[in-house]
Structure 1
Amino acid sequence: MSSTLQHLVLSNGLRVRLWHAPHLKRCAALLRVEAGSHDAPPAYPGLAHFLEHLLFLGTARFPVEDGLMRFVQSQGGQLNASTRERHTEFFFEVPPTAVSGALERLCDMLAHPLLTLERQAAEREVIHAEWVAWSANAEAQRQYALLRSVSAQHPLSGFHAGNRDSLPIHEAAFQQALSEFHRQFYQAGQIILTLSGPQPLEALARQFGALFAPGRKVRQSAAPPLLDGPLQPGQIEGQLDMLLAHEDLPDNASFDYLSTWITDNRPGGLVHELRERGWLQDLACTVPYRFAGQALLHLKARLSTTADRADVEGLIRDWLAFFGKADHSALLLEYQRLQACRSPGALELARRDDGVPIVPEYPGESRHPWKFPEPEPLLSAVVAQTPGTPVPTGLAYSPVLPASGEYAALYIRWQAEHLRDVLKPLSERAKRIGVELDWTRSANTWQLRCCGAPAMVLGVVEQALRTLENPLAVGATAEPPLIPLRQLMQQLPKVLAGAGQPGWTALATGFDAAAGNALNHLLGRLAGTPYKPSRPRLLPSQWQQCGESGGEQALLLFAPVADEAAGRLLAHLLQGPFYQRLRSELQLGYAVFSAFRQIHGYSGLMFGVQSPGASHAEILGHLHDFFARPALLPETSRDNLATQFHASVMPHADLAEWLWQAHLAGDDQADPQILAARIRQLRQPDIDRARADLASGRRWLILANGPAAPGFLPSR
């Protein structure tokens, strides 16, 4: 889908990029400050990351209760920030009607922060908790060790995370350094603001970009060479890590082109060859560091037990030598076709790298008979003309998503033991052409989700079903370990899946008559008994221990609700105060969240806490205390939430997922406008009843990395 990019520079020096994409349903902002952890004073490692945290704690104009985080959450948006080595990013995505309020808050909090000592003391504890978790995380330590394999003179080999010891907030010299860092780098000349959305955004960029003090771009200190000898990253069992250093890249060079082809899994390429030999599970290509012509390319290969690391590395280097010296004329055209078929969301578009594809030359001569893949046939997929076919019993169609030919979604759910995890290669191919193919398992429940342009979806689904009928052996991919709270979140769908009903059920939306007929023909051949789901029964309260207690205690609470509208509005009202109370005031840890979730047809409120200091019993006590507090219903909250379910602002993927969850709950007539109307009808007594039901604990499903805490009363 078409989008145009405009560049401009404001009078105060702020650089602006404007992506105009009429098809988008949301707007996004990405604000990059060209200063990161390597620009902080060496005496205070972590100062840049610390400042990033402090900026979210409110300003004189927008206190924390009305700051960016609360505002974006109230609009159903998303936001985050990240401190990298030489830049810091702040970003959000919201409905178009909310972009003005969000952008004003973002610019104000960066330009006019309140860096009071009280706020610093509280946030330093959060930074320290992050550092404790980072120190205990094997994958994080692995990445740190890889970066330390460069020259000892380069700042990449140093410590920049920040903790209590490196952030002496009571010292005058530290406070002066913090203020000077903000003054020097958080000014207009050091900032790039990118906005994307369906409407003109230049006026907003000029209005709120003017909040920054005028300035010129500061020349960031140059880094020494990445290498003072050969790169020799340490290796771990079952994995090959290769680092490739570059010193003189053009500023607009992009590694996306190289990444696209080195990870291509079709015949003739590197991934296909390694998998054919039974050596490779997965290959990833990332750029963990880039600044002023320098770049570090990381190739991470997850290996099978039969692989020889030296042989795998030899083939990778052989392919790189081939790639650098080959004729790229046809491949560049194919790359342009791939880029054109992708339809990024607002935030993805704001983050898009519009640099020039490069073909880096690597040493050596290729000896293997590599070849570039043939043009991707799925790019040319068309809807097959098939005889009229009745709708299979297990398939339901929803008319909510328009049959415009731009986006369609298909969900299929099986209750079966014979299915296997064999769709990863196809999922990788589909992603390249802008089609999402997910194949997931919870207990004995398998789910296929395929979304994108209807003709391409049909082509991918046809290949997926053929693969499932005649599966070839595919080795399971070893995933990096997750933090305890994310492990619990991963386990929850397996708990809720239960025994299930044997057979299959499906939902389709966004298909026109011709595409629907082709889909009927495809699914009519599915093996197994089709069925129509019914609403799952509400669960009694229970506590399940998942995993062992470690250095941090994690607890995940899911409370199913019978009334989705009231549950959503209550979750909407609790999200900000929950974060404020348990993370900011009680300082339980950095991993604290609440949200409304739908899983396997269950709708409910979810609360998660991971703490390095509080026990499970203490976390449970804080939850009881929080739920006992009243939840007041402002008029604006009800309208803000209802507006998020308008088809004009609800992203296609979110709408399709909501329809699928309604299908699993036995409702094939679900309409988001009906839900929006129900939300607008709610009043304070409705919220009081929903809050009282939540506080009762009658239907609490708790997953924790420890045994049931004293005070938890399961249903009998």
Structure 2
Amino acid sequence: MNEAVSADDPEEALLEAGLPPGSRCAIRRLSNGLRIVAAEVTEARQLRLVGAVSVGYLDEPADCRGLAHLLEHGLFLGSARAPAEGEFAAWIGEQGGRYNAHTDESVTDVHLHLPPEAADEGLQRLIDLLGQPRLDAERLAREVAVLDAEFRARLADPALHRLAALGRFFRPDHPARLCHAGHRGTLGGTPRALAARLAAFHRRHYRSERMALAMLGPLPLEEQLALLARHGARLPSGGGAQPPRVWRWRDPAALAWCPPTPPPPDGGTLLELIWPLPDAVARAGQRQLTALAARLADGQLAARLQATTKLQDLAVDLAPEGTGAALAMRLSLEAPVPDLAALLAVCRQAPGHALEERLPPPAPTPIDLDAWPRRRACRLATDPASPADATPLAPWLAGDRCRVLWRCAPDASDSWSTLDETGTHWGPLALPVESPGSSSPGHLPPPLPLSPGPAPEPPPAGRASPGCLRRDTRLTLWWGGPAWPLPTGDATWCLGWAADPSGHEERLRRWHRRTLALRQAAAAQGLSLDLASDADGDWLMARGNPRRIVSLVAQALAAWSTEPGDHHEDAPAQGLLARALLQQLETGPAVGEPAPHLLGWASGELCPREVVQDAERFADLLAAPAGTTQAAAARVEADGESWLPPQGEERAVMLEVRGADASPRSRWVLKLLAACHDAAFHHEMRQRHGFGYVAAVRYREAAGWPRLGYVVQSPWASVTELRRAIEDFLVRRSETLARPDATELARLKRGMLARYGVPETHREAIERIWQVLRRHRGPDEPEGWLAPWEAELTVLAGLGVDDLALQARALADAALPRHWWYHTPPSPPLPDRNALVFPRDNPPSRRHLD
């Protein structure tokens, strides 16, 4: 029997936040204790399924750290109804879908993206995976090696070292104090014994009372609830609710930390202020905390801090990783080292001062169809049985309750220590004494002048049709929006211009810093401002109230600059190497010349005549755009090789393959090839070669040009071996894998439609149309530009097996433009690099990428 949640349940009151208007959603609790949540979103082209379990790394036995993470991996090694290893991944690939999983301190979730018609079988497979994993000892032993490789890779990720340093704030007997990433040293014992412990861990925690299922898609709400209830009833029960978490925190303190490889002296720093909260207090004060977070991020605090320091970013978080319930402020600061006394004097008192004021309601939650089901499932799974505590928040958010975590380079004193397991450097931080009155809330900057101005002029009777309003050497201006079924009542402005691609990352960082307070103030008033830069130039996208949007755009343009001031040498990117390599697919040089003038597009509740006048003012605000000669000179040829700057102890290789052109046909064929190759490539690199845990084929675009990336990361194999393995895979299997039968090809196309078909939201439609206009060259109006996906879907429908096979053969024969990317540790043995067999006579010189 299904049991509806009561109308006054706080989850029910917040349920619709983050969904498009007109959506329907509901929560139910089944008789076996499982909680389910469904959302009917008519425009959704993909089905999202999430299974969440209230178990995380804090629930692991002290002598087997990493067990929860290993179980997450073990779920995908075979189950009762799909016992073959890789069968689940193969089925997801056949649907053209995606899957992933995540384990944090208190919850594990598995999330799937599938075509809507796969809802029934997708739920069946998800329930089978969660409730009846096979947990074979031999397979788990191999997966321990994968986790060990993952741990070694994460030693280059500052996020791991932050968690290790954060543990110094916790009581010595609390599990949060220790590293729970899991590796060979913590997952010891025989494979059979480890499998037995994992099975017992699963039987204890993976029970319906501690789980939640979520579905979001275009299916009717009643059908979704029926599917969730029918399949959810198969989950084993008998676990009971999780016991309350014990308090982890020691007395308030401050400490500094850095990874084993410190950042460069001019690389900036990160300052975190954390106010821990008891779970029951946080639940009772959820609405007030949400309003408080919105107030702290409304631009006023950022503007005040930027008056005294180079603040790159200010984020306010109610769910910071590794802290449990807390309010956290995270400040990204550029060099030089800030005056901590002045900075902390303001920040430590900011929550208390804000609570003394009348807190405005927060702006509407941004629509995010991927995040909504994950967020709902995880919250439902971890919903405790204990009552909320109505204790006032103010005492918990006082300045002296704050913990301070500062990432910086270690000094020469003897107070710094090193954690053996991770190599993290850390030391106590003496907090500066606040001067009297330094924390006073007075003299706050006035609200940013996003003045409403006069009401927009009503549209004339003969309103301009969508098309080009103006085209000359100074300005190209488009007008008109997509025929969207749900009116937004908003306006949109998009502007783009040519700029030097060689310095775009530094220029964008400077632009983000200068507009930080502006963007936060805009978000607090229900507007959005996105800034971006790529090989084709810089651009912005603003959406929101038509009476405020022109002021927002004008202020953003005034903050843009080509001046080289505030420049510092980029620090090497840190984190997962494979991710850094894949980013090259999105930021690499485009083919063709950038637009030589200002490009604009306006739509929504705006008057066309005023749009032209506003565009002329926008052009006046911009400095002269960079010339095409300078931009073209910074482009690199497609065929070649590059080295990433050293950023860890692992090797990684990526083959970047570019489409022959930027046509819809090229883009679809490369997307389909990625779907055909990914699972097989992943299995071959991991199982056949045993390289590590990262191996993937991914599709990306830069300035509209299609690219594929074949990336492998390994802690032990040389870059020579990695490159040869990629080449061997393409020669042996590229064309074979690209010859699906008619049924398989139809299934792949349905998967493409689910991932790349008609837009799901108005925002996505605007983004896709804007990129079409940015790529367009020539005087003619691009055909079907207000709905470019319609022509693209026609192209997809016409593709056959021979089209795929022909492109796969060209890929195997190296007939498509390609570029190799390499990474080796900071001090690699020279023979390894010189042993590479390059297609040209001379090996490449090592390049530090911008």
Number of aligned residue pairs: give it: 701
**Residue 185 in structure 1 maps to residue 205 in structure 2:** yes
Q: 1:204 matched to which residue of 2?
A: 227
**Residue 311 in structure 1 maps to residue 342 in structure 2:** yes
Q: Which runs of 5+ in 1 are unaligned?
A: none
User: Please, which moves more after superposition, 496-505 or 209-218?
Assistant: 496-505
Asked if 2 retains the 8 angstrom alpha-carbon contact of 1:188 and 1:212, the reply is: yes
Amino acid at match of 1:447: D
**Residue 592 in structure 1 maps to residue 592 in structure 2:** no
Q: Hey, what's the Cα distance between the residues in 2 that align with 1:96 and 1:211?
A: 22
Within 5 Å, give how 1:473-622 maps onto structure 2.
481-497=574-590, 500-501=593-594, 503-504=596-597, 506=599, 508=601, 511-512=603-604, 514=606, 518-525=610-617, 526=619, 540-548=638-646, 550-562=648-660, 563-622=666-725
Q: 2:417 matched to which residue of 1?
A: none
Q: 1:645 to 1:492 in 2, by over 3 A?
A: closer
Asked if 2 retains the 8 angstrom alpha-carbon contact of 1:111 and 1:186, the reply is: yes
Asked if 1 retains the 8 angstrom alpha-carbon contact of 2:54 and 2:242, the reply is: no
1:21 positional shift: 4.4
Q: 1:251 matched to which residue of 2?
A: 283
1:552 positional shift: 1.0
Within 5 Å, give how 1:414-425 maps onto structure 2.
414-416=498-500, 421-423=510-512, 424-425=515-516
CA deviations on 1:659-684 (whole Å, 9 max, x unpaired) are 45544554733632333232233232
Percent identity for Structure 1 against Structure 2: 23
Q: 1:694 to 1:309 in 2, by over 3 A?
A: same
**Residue 467 in structure 1 maps to residue 467 in structure 2:** no
Q: Hey, what's the Cα distance between the residues in 2 that align with 1:381 and 1:565?
A: 45
Q: 1:679 matched to which residue of 2?
A: 796
Q: 1:468 to 1:296 in 2, by over 3 A?
A: closer
1:471 positional shift: 9.4
Q: Hey, what's the Cα distance between the residues in 2 that align with 1:701 and 1:379?
A: 49
1:19 positional shift: 3.6
Q: Hey, what's the Cα distance between the residues in 1 that align with 2:374 and 2:452?
A: 28
**Residue 102 in structure 1 maps to residue 122 in structure 2:** yes
Q: 1:637 matched to which residue of 2?
A: 747
1:514 positional shift: 3.9
TM-score for the superposition, normalised by structure 2 = 0.72
Q: 1:351 matched to which residue of 2?
A: 375
Q: Hey, what's the Cα distance between the residues in 2 that align with 1:623 and 1:694?
A: 12
1:382 positional shift: 9.2
Q: 1:31 matched to which residue of 2?
A: 51
1:83 positional shift: 1.1
1:651 positional shift: 5.0
Q: Hey, what's the Cα distance between the residues in 2 that align with 1:647 and 1:471?
A: 41
Q: 1:25 to 1:689 in 2, by over 3 A?
A: closer
Q: Hey, what's the Cα distance between the residues in 1 that align with 2:575 and 2:522?
A: 26
Asked if 2 retains the 8 angstrom alpha-carbon contact of 1:555 and 1:703, the reply is: yes
Amino acid at match of 2:839: L
**Residue 159 in structure 1 maps to residue 208 in structure 2:** no
Q: 1:518 to 1:56 in 2, by over 3 A?
A: farther
Asked if 2 retains the 8 angstrom alpha-carbon contact of 1:414 and 1:504, the reply is: yes
1:204 positional shift: 1.7
Q: 1:498 to 1:319 in 2, by over 3 A?
A: same
Asked if 1 retains the 8 angstrom alpha-carbon contact of 2:641 and 2:821, the reply is: yes
Q: Hey, what's the Cα distance between the residues in 2 that align with 1:449 and 1:297?
A: 31
Partner of 1:311, secondary structure, is: helix
**Residue 284 in structure 1 maps to residue 315 in structure 2:** yes
User: Please, which moves more after superposition, 47-56 or 344-353?
Assistant: 344-353
**Residue 402 in structure 1 maps to residue 505 in structure 2:** no
Within 5 Å, give how 1:218-367 maps onto structure 2.
218-220=241-243, 222-223=245-246, 225-235=247-257, 238-247=269-278, 249-251=281-283, 253-254=285-286, 255-266=289-300, 269=301, 271-278=302-309, 280-286=311-317, 287-288=319-320, 295-303=325-333, 304-305=335-336, 307-324=338-355, 326-328=356-358, 331-333=359-361, 335=362, 338-339=363-364, 342-348=366-372, 350-351=374-375, 359-361=393-395, 362-363=397-398, 367=439
Q: Hey, what's the Cα distance between the residues in 1 that align with 2:644 and 2:658?
A: 20
Q: 1:711 matched to which residue of 2?
A: 837
Q: Hey, what's the Cα distance between the residues in 2 that align with 1:306 and 1:145?
A: 20
1:560 positional shift: 1.3
Q: Hey, what's the Cα distance between the residues in 1 that align with 2:316 and 2:30?
A: 36
Amino acid at match of 2:557: L
Q: Hey, what's the Cα distance between the residues in 2 that align with 1:481 and 1:211?
A: 43
Partner of 1:288, secondary structure, is: coil
Amino acid at match of 2:511: V
Q: 2:103 matched to which residue of 1?
A: 83
Partner of 1:323, secondary structure, is: helix
1:245 positional shift: 2.5
TM-score for the superposition, normalised by structure 1 = 0.85
Amino acid at match of 2:539: L
Asked if 1 retains the 8 angstrom alpha-carbon contact of 2:99 and 2:113, the reply is: yes
Q: 1:138 matched to which residue of 2?
A: 158
Asked if 2 retains the 8 angstrom alpha-carbon contact of 1:413 and 1:505, the reply is: yes
1:92 positional shift: 3.0
Within 5 Å, give how 1:48-63 maps onto structure 2.
48-62=68-82
Amino acid at match of 2:99: L
Q: Hey, what's the Cα distance between the residues in 2 that align with 1:547 and 1:13?
A: 52
Q: Which runs of 5+ in 2 are unaligned?
A: 1-19, 259-264, 401-436, 661-665, 825-832, 843-850
